[in-house]
C-alpha cells in the first residue's frame, strides 16, 4: 500500500544521503550518528534549559569532541535538501494585515492571522506571482483591466516564496555559488546563502528595493504576523582547517555580522548531526528597526509550527524520538525558552498545535517493529503532562487536524479510521469516537466547528493481504457533531488509480470558502479504459493521465459535494504533464475565479465559469 509515510521516508532517505555527501566534503562534521551529550563545563546556562558557549574555544572543543572524521571528496550540487516544503482560532479568516476594498481569498494557512509564504499572493486588487526567478505583479481587478504592470527578475538567485503586506513585497530564496576551480578538499565547492529582499510597492508599476539581507545557510521556513516577518535558516556546524565556520549575516555582498559563540544556544538534547539554526525577526514596515537574531545549535530541522506567541521547530533523531524547541516571539523579540522530547516522529506541521498554554503533537512510532500513533500534550516547559499512545496500531498515520479542544486523526491500512480525540483535560486525552470507511484523507480542513472536509484517496481492499489499493482522489465531508459517532455525510471521487492532487502534500493548493459554497483544487486526472480489461478492471490497474487543471465544486451541508465545472490551461491534445501550464493555484476576487500556472493566468466567472480573459506570463 503506497502511503504518505513511505513518501516521507523516501524524502528523509534522500536528504540523509545528500547530507552525508555535503559533510563528506569537509575535514570534520559534527555528530552525524546519535550519541548522548551533556552540557560542557565551559558553558553559560540561561533560562529554559538552554546554554550558551562561554568562548570560541568552548564551542570548538564541543564540536571536536562530537565530530566524526570523513574521507573528503567533492560535491557537485547544492546542499539544500529541503527547499520548502492547524490549530484554528477562527474560521475563514484572512491572513495578513493588508487592507483591501474587494472581497478576495487568501493563502490557505494553518493558523488564522499567521501568513505563510507561497508563490502566489493577492491583496484583492493585484496578484503577485513567482514564476521561475521572476516575480510578476498583475493588476487583477476589475477583470477587464487585468494586465502585467511590472516584473522583478532575480538573475542567478533562486526565489522560493513571497509575502505581501500592504505596500511591502517580501521575496525569500537561496543563492548558490559554485567556484569555477575545485580542490580535492573543496569544502566550499558550493556556498549556500538565504536572501530576503523587501520592496516598496506603493507604486506597483515601479517596485523599489528597500532592504537586501542575506544569511549563510539554507532557507528552512518562514511566517508573517502583522508587520513582522519571522524566518529560519540552517547551516551545518563544521570545522575546516581547525576553524569553526560560524553563521554570518550579510547586507548585499558584505558580511556585517558573525554569530559569535557566546550568542549560540544549545541543550543536551542535541544528539543528532548538528547545525546552526538562526531565527530572525524583521519589521518589514519600519526599515529603521534593526532585525533581531537568535541562533541555536540543534539537529537536522524537520518541521515548524508557529502560534501567535511561539515558534516550534522539531528534529527527529535516529533513535526514534523527536526533540521540540520552543522559541518565544513578540514583535522583534525572540528568545529560546524550552526544549522537550517525545517518542516517534511527526508527520508534518499539522501534527502540531498550541492551545491554552499547551503544545500538542501527534507522532508515529515504530517501537518493537510495530507501527502506531501517539498524541502528547506538553506544557510550556516542554514537559509531557498528558499522552494517548498506541492509536491505529499497524496503520499508517495520514493526517491530523487540531480544532480547539479536539483532535482529528486519520490512520490507514485497509480501511480509514477517523479518530475524534477529546483534549478538554490536557492531562487526560481520550478517544471519543471512531469512524471506519474505505479510503483515507491526507489533508483535513475545518468546514465549521462540527464538520470537516477530508481530501485523500478512495481505496479498494486487497484480497491478497492486509492492505488496500488506492484509487482516485476522494473528497469527503464528515459530520462530527456527535463526537462518539462521527459520520461521512458526503463524498466525491475524481478519476481512477493514478489521479492525484497537490493538496495531499501542499495545503496551500486548497481553496475553500464556506460563504460561497466553494471548493477548488488542482487535479491530474487519470482514467482507465475498461475495454483494455475484458475480464474486469483489477484494483491495481493504473489509469492513463488525460487532463490537468482545477476542479470547481459546490460544498454544502444540505447538498453535499457537487460538480460545478473544471478549468485547464493545457491546450487540447497536449500532454497533461505540460508542467509550465499545469494549474497549481486558484484564488478569487469578488465574483472572478483566477487560476494560475507558471505561464498563464485565466479569469473565469465564478458563477458559470465562462472565460473572461487570460494573461500569458513571459
Distance of CA 260 to the CA centre of its chain: 30
The tens digit of pLDDT for each residue in 414-450 reads 665 899 999 999 999 999 999 988 889 999 999 999 9
Whether 296 is in a domain gets the answer: yes
DSSP assignment, residue 20?
H
Whether 338 is in a domain gets the answer: no
The tens digit of pLDDT for each residue in 182-218 reads 443 444 456 899 999 999 999 999 999 999 999 999 9
Q: How confident is the model at residue 355 (pLDDT cuts 50, 70, 90)?
A: very high
| Predicted local distance difference test score (pLDDT) of residue 180 | 58
| Predicted local distance difference test score (pLDDT) of residue 488 | 96
pLDDT at 523 over 70: yes
Question: What's the CA gap between 118 and 128, in Å, rounded?
Answer: 10
Which three cell numbers, joined as nine digits, stand for 195?
536572501
| Predicted local distance difference test score (pLDDT) of residue 7 | 39
Whether 169 is in a domain gets the answer: yes
pLDDT at 271 over 80: no
Question: What's the CA gap between 439 and 459, in Å, rounded?
Answer: 5
Whether 570 is in a domain gets the answer: no
Whether 107 is in a domain gets the answer: yes
Question: What's the CA gap between 250 and 215, in Å, rounded?
Answer: 6
Residue 533 burial by Cβ neighbours in a 10 Å radius (0-12, 13-18, 19+): exposed
Q: How many CB atoms lie within 10 A of CB 607?
A: 9
The tens digit of pLDDT for each residue in 161-176 reads 999 999 999 999 999 8
Whether 455 is in a domain gets the answer: no
Of 237-246, 291-300, 477-486, which gets the smallest average pLDDT?
237-246
Question: What's the CA gap between 477 and 474, in Å, rounded?
Answer: 10
The count of domains in the chain is: 1
pLDDT average, residue stretch 147-164 = 98
pLDDT at 453 over 80: yes
The tens digit of pLDDT for each residue in 387-406 reads 999 998 888 899 999 999 99
- Average pLDDT of the chain to the nearest whole number: 86
Q: How confident is the model at residue 9 (pLDDT cuts 50, 70, 90)?
A: very low
pLDDT average, residue stretch 563-579 = 96
pLDDT average, residue stretch 82-94 = 33
| Predicted local distance difference test score (pLDDT) of residue 18 | 42
**Structural domain of 128:** 1-303
Whether 219 is in a domain gets the answer: yes
Express as a percent the part of the chain with pLDDT over 70: 82
pLDDT at 78 over 90: no
Angle 145-147-151 from CA coordinates, rounded to 5°: 150
Residue of 365, 475, 351, 455 lying closest to 409 (CA atoms): 351
Whether 551 is in a domain gets the answer: no
Q: How confident is the model at residue 280 (pLDDT cuts 50, 70, 90)?
A: very high
Question: What's the CA gap between 537 and 514, in Å, rounded?
Answer: 37
Amino acid at each position: 500500500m503506497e502511503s504518505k509515510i513511505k513518501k516521507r521516508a523516501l524524502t528523509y532517505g534522500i536528504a540523509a544521503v545528500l547530507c552525508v555527501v555535503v559533510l563528506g566534503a569537509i575535514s570534520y562534521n559534527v555528530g552525524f550518528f546519535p550519541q548522548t551529550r551533556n552540557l560542557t563545563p565551559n558553558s553559560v546556562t540561561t533560562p529554559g534549559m538552554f546554554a550558551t558557549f562561554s568562548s570560541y574555544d568552548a564551542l570548538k572543543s564541543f564540536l571536536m569532541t562530537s565530530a566524526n572524521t570523513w574521507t573528503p571528496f567533492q560535491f557537485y550540487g547544492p546542499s539544500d535538501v529541503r527547499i520548502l516544503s492547524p490549530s484554528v482560532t477562527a474560521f475563514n479568516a484572512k491572513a495578513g494585515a493588508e487592507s483591501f476594498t474587494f472581497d478576495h481569498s487568501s493563502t490557505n494557512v494553518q493558523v488564522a492571522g499567521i501568513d505563510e509564504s507561497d508563490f502566489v499572493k493577492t491583496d484583492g486588487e493585484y496578484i503577485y506571482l513567482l514564476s521561475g526567478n521572476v516575480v510578476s505583479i498583475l493588476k487583477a481587478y476589475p477583470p477587464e483591466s487585468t494586465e502585467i504592470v511590472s516584473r522583478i527578475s532575480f538573475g542567478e538567485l533562486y526565489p522560493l516564496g513571497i509575502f505581501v503586506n500592504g505596500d511591502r513585497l517580501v521575496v525569500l530564496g537561496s543563492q548558490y555559488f559554485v567556484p569555477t576551480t575545485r580542490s580535492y578538499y573543496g569544502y566550499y565547492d558550493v556556498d549556500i546563502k538565504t536572501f530576503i529582499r523587501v520592496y516598496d510597492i506603493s507604486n506597483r508599476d515601479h517596485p523599489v528595493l528597500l532592504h537586501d539581507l542575506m544569511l549563510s545557510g539554507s532557507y528552512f521556513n518562514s511566517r508573517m504576523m502583522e508587520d513582522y516577518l519571522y524566518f529560519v535558516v540552517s547551516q551545518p556546524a563544521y570545522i575546516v582547517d581547525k576553524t569553526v565556520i560560524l553563521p554570518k549575516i550579510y547586507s548585499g555582498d558584505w558580511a556585517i555580522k558573525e554569530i559569535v559563540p557566546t550568542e549560540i544556544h544549545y541543550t543536551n538534547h542535541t544528539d543528532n548531526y548538528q547545525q546552526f539554526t538562526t531565527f530572525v525577526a524583521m519589521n518589514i514596515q519600519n526599515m529603521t528597526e534593526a532585525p533581531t537574531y537568535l541562533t541555536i545549535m540543534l539537529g537536522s530541522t524537520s518541521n515548524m509550527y508557529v502560534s501567535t506567541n511561539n515558534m516550534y521547530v522539531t528534529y527527529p533523531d535516529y533513535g526514534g524520538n523527536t526533540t521540540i524547541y520552543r522559541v518565544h516571539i513578540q514583535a522583534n523579540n525572540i528568545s529560546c525558552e524550552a526544549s522537550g522530547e517525545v517518542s516517534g516522529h511527526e508527520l508534518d506541521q499539522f501534527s502540531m498545535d498550541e492551545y491554552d498554554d499547551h503544545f500538542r503533537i501527534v507522532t508515529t512510532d515504530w517501537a518493537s517493529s510495530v507501527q502506531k500513533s501517539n498524541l502528547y500534550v506538553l506544557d510550556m516547559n516542554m514537559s509531557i503532562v498528558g499522552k494517548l499512545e498506541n492509536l491505529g496500531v499497524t496503520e499508517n498515520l495520514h493526517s491530523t487536524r487540531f480544532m480547539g479542544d479536539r483532535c482529528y486523526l486519520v490512520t490507514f491500512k485497509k480501511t480509514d479510521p477517523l479518530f475524534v480525540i477529546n483534549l478538554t483535560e490536557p492531562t487526560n486525552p481520550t478517544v471519543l469516537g471512531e469512524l471506519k470507511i474505505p479510503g483515507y484523507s491526507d489533508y483535513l480542513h475545518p468546514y465549521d466547528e462540527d464538520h470537516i472536509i477530508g481530501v485523500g484517496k478512495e481505496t479498494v481492499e486487497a484480497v491478497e493481504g492486509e492492505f488496500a489499493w488506492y484509487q482516485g482522489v476522494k473528497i469527503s465531508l464528515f459530520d462530527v457533531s456527535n463526537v462518539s459517532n462521527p459520520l461521512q455525510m458526503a463524498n466525491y471521487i475524481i478519476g481512477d488509480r493514478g489521479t492525484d492532487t497537490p493538496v495531499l502534500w501542499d495545503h496551500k493548493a486548497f481553496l475553500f470558502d464556506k460563504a460561497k459554497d466553494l471548493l477548488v483544487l488542482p487535479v491530474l486526472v487519470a482514467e482507465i479504459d475498461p475495454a483494455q480489461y475484458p475480464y474486469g478492471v483489477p484494483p491495481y490497474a493504473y489509469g492513463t493521465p488525460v487532463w490537468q487543471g482545477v476542479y470547481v465544486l459546490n460544498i454544502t451541508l444540505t447538498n453535499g459535494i457537487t460538480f460545478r465545472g473544471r478549468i485547464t490551461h493545457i491546450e487540447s491534445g497536449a500532454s497533461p504533464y505540460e508542467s509550465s501550464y499545469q494549474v497549481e493555484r486558484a484564488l478569487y476576487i469578488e465574483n472572478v475565479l483566477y487560476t494560475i500556472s507558471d505561464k498563464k493566468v485565466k479569469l473565469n466567472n465564478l458563477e458559470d465559469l465562462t472565460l473572461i480573459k487570460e494573461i500569458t506570463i513571459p
